[in-house]
Amino acid sequence: MRIITGKYKGRHFDIPRTFKARPTTDFAKENIFNVLTGYIDFDGATALDLFSGTGSISLELASRGCAHVVSIEADRDHHRFILQCLQKLQPLGDGSLLADSKSAQTGQPEKNRPQVAAIRGDVFRYLKNCKQQFDFIFADPPYALKELPTIPSLIFEKNLLKEDGVFVFEHGKDHSFTDHPNFVEHRQYGSVNFSIFQPLHQG
């Protein structure tokens, strides 16, 4: 697992072979982030990474300058691995993973709030209780998850995106979201499919 660009560009992390997580491939991750540069400036943005697995996307977002990233992962071992990766990026005494006034260009995060908040918990329970809005949301649920088709509508019903926010949904080839009212475009890289959504603009 590799961080593509930004402050931690080139850092590698070895994923334990025992993991069930299917991380987004470096090839697919690099390509979708290239597309996203036309949608959003990650520097200073707030982001939500759902079903974060190995933390690949959360680490990439932190490297690209997001002021605050909330990472949600239910599996105990995967969550521990994300914390270990964050610790490796932030040596003792280095505040690199803490938000500061310079990085907080959007929103008003607390000065000492961690740049990445890695939360172990159920995604649907988190979404039900979430009151925050984000500039960027990424979701990579297990492709066989029965609730997978409901996730895009849930994001917009809960009004979790800011007005110009972007939601990227990774899914298998068996699902299509082109008929969803918030759908913008679809990208495919190998066997990885991404659907991009944005809020509807009134007027």
| Secondary structure in 3-state letters for 115-126 | CEEEEECCHHHH
What was the pLDDT predicted at 73?
Answer: 95
pLDDT band at 93 (very low <50, low <70, confident <90, very high): very low
192 has pLDDT over 50:
yes
67 has pLDDT over 70:
yes
d(CA 155, CA 173): 21
What was the pLDDT predicted at 17?
Answer: 84
Q: What average pLDDT does the segment 45-49 reach?
A: 97
Q: What average pLDDT does the segment 141-170 reach?
A: 94
d(CA 60, CA 165): 18
Which contiguous run of DSSP H or E holds residue 185?
strand 183-189
What was the pLDDT predicted at 30?
Answer: 93
52 has pLDDT over 90:
yes
